[in-house]
A and B are shown apart, each in its own frame.
Chain A
C-alpha cells in the first residue's frame, strides 16, 4: 500500500524569497496531519504546490503513489485531491447546492449531473448547510461560505482533503461545529486530511501528527505533544513554554 501523500524536498521561490524550502513529509490514509507556523511561513504556498496551482522549482509530490508534480489542478483532482481556500471562493451567482454539484461533477469521481445532484444534499447535510441549499452562495455568511468550501471539496469523494484555515474568522460556536464536521469526515469517510490552522487548541486536538514551518523551512515534525514541547517550536511560534500543558488540559 503506497502512501496517501508524499511530499519530497519541495521548494519554491518568488524572486529572492524562498517561500517553501525543501519540505518533505508523508501522510497515511485516514490520517489528520496538521500544518502550523507563523504568518508567511509558506503554508498556503505548500498547499498550492501540492494542489497544482503552483509548480515547484524542485522536489516532487505524489498522491497514492502517482507523481503529480507540475500537473494542473484539475489533473491533481483526478488523482483524489480536493481543497478549500483560505480566502473563500464561492461561485457567488450560483446556488449553494449547485456549488456542491460542481464539486461532484468535476471532482475525483466525475459524477453525472443527476448523481451529483442526488449526492449534494447528503454532503450539505454533513456540513450543516442543507437548509440553505437554494440560497445563492454569495448570500451566505462567512461561516456559511467556509462550510460551503468544505462541502464542495467533499462532493467529489476525494481521498485527500486539504483544509486551509477553515476555522479562521469563525466564532467559538461555529469553531466547535466545524471541528465536529472535520471529525465526522474522517470517521464516516476515512479521508486523509491535511489541515492548516492557527487555532492551536483545534490543531492539537484534531491532528495525529503535526509539521511546523518557519520561513519556508520545516522546523519540527511529530505528534502534537512532541511538537508543543519542542523548545525551538516554542521559541519560533508558540511563545509560551507551558503551551503544551495548557492545550492538553483544555482538550
Chain B
C-alpha cells in the first residue's frame, strides 16, 4: 500500500470530490463539476499523448459528438439518460476505432493535423445535419429532468455521474499504465519502429487506445450537455477547449495519471479565477498559450516529470 500509493490517492481524491460539495454547497459543486469534466478530458487525452506519444489536437470531438448523440437519443427518441450515454459511447467508440485504423497510419505532425481536420469536419457535418438541429443545435425540455427527480435534484445526480466518470478515467489510466498493453503503448511512444520489431502490433494498439480514449469523454459530453440543457455545434466542437486540455495534461505531467488529473484541476481553478475577475475576462487563453510555451521549453514532463527527474525513486510511486 505504501509502496504504490497511487490507487489510494485516487480513492482519496474521489472521496474528497464526493464529500466537499455536501459540506460546501452548490457553488463549490459547480466549480468541482467543471474541474471533474476537465479532468476526464485531460486524463483520457493522456492515454494518447502521454502514453502513446500521438498528439491528438482534436480530442474534443469525442466530447462534442458524444453529447450530440446522447442528446439526440434523449430529446428525439426519449431514451433515458443512461441509454443516451451508452449510445454515445458505442457510436463514438466505434467510429473512432474505424477512424483510428486509418489516420493512425500517419505520424508526428501529419497525425496532429489530421486530428484537427476530424474536429472541423465533424463540426461541419453536425452543423448541416438537420436531425441534430443544424447550427442551432438541440434543446432539452424540462420534462427530461423528471426521471432524475426534477431539475434541482438532477444537478446532484449529474454531478455524481460525472464524478463516476472521473473515477473510471483515473482507474482506467492507472490500469493501462500497469498492464502489458500499456507497456506496448509506451514502447510505441519511445520508438515505434523499435516497438514493431520487438513484436508490438502497433497499428492495432494505436487504434484501440484512440478508441478507448474516446469512451469516457463521450459519456461525459452527454452529462455535460444534458445539464446544460442545450447543445450547439460551435460550443460542442470547440477546438480551443481541445488545446486547453493539452495544456492541462502537460502542466501536471504527461504520461502520469496523477499529473494529468492534477494539471486539469489546477488549470480549472486558475481559469475560474481569471474568468470571474473583470480585468482578465477571456485572458485565460493568453495565459494558457504562454503556459504551454513555458512547459514545452523548460519542463516538458510537467510537474510530475520535474519531480521524477529530481527524485527518480518517485517514478514507481507517483504513477
Contacts and interface: CB of A to CB of B under 8 A. Distances in A.
A107 B194 CA distance: 12
B184 interface: yes
Interface residues of B, number: 20
A113 interface: yes
User: What is the predominant secondary structure among interface residues of chain B facing chain A?
Assistant: helix
Contact of A112 (B180, B189, B197): B180
Interface in A43-74: 51, 53, 72-74
B179 A102 contact: no
B201 A74 contact: yes
Contacts of A83: 197
Contact of B200 (A82, A92, A93, A106): A106
B199 A106 contact: yes
B208 to A, nearest CB: 14
B191 A74 contact: no
A102 B187 contact: yes
Contacts of A101: 183
Given A89-B193, A112-B180, A113-B180, A94 B198 contact: no
B200 A74 contact: yes
A147 interface: no
B202 interface: yes
Nearest to A103: B198
A86 B101 CA distance: 30
A60 B256 CA distance: 44
Interface string B308-319: 000010000000
Given A98-B183, A113-B179, A113-B183, A106 B190 contact: no
B183 A93 contact: no
Interface string A148-160: 0000110010000
Interface in B170-216: 179-180, 183-184, 186-187, 189-191, 193-202
A146 to B, nearest CB: 14
B183 A102 contact: yes
Interface in B264-304: none
Given A74-B200, A77-B199, A102-B195, A92 B180 contact: no
A73 B179 contact: no
Contacts of A130: none
Given A92-B190, A113-B180, 17 more contacts: A72-B196, A74-B196, A74-B199, A89-B193, A89-B194, A91-B186, A91-B190, A92-B191, A93-B190, A94-B187, A98-B186, A102-B183, A102-B184, A106-B187, A106-B200, A107-B198, A107-B199
Interface of B: 179-180, 183-184, 186-187, 189-191, 193-202, 312
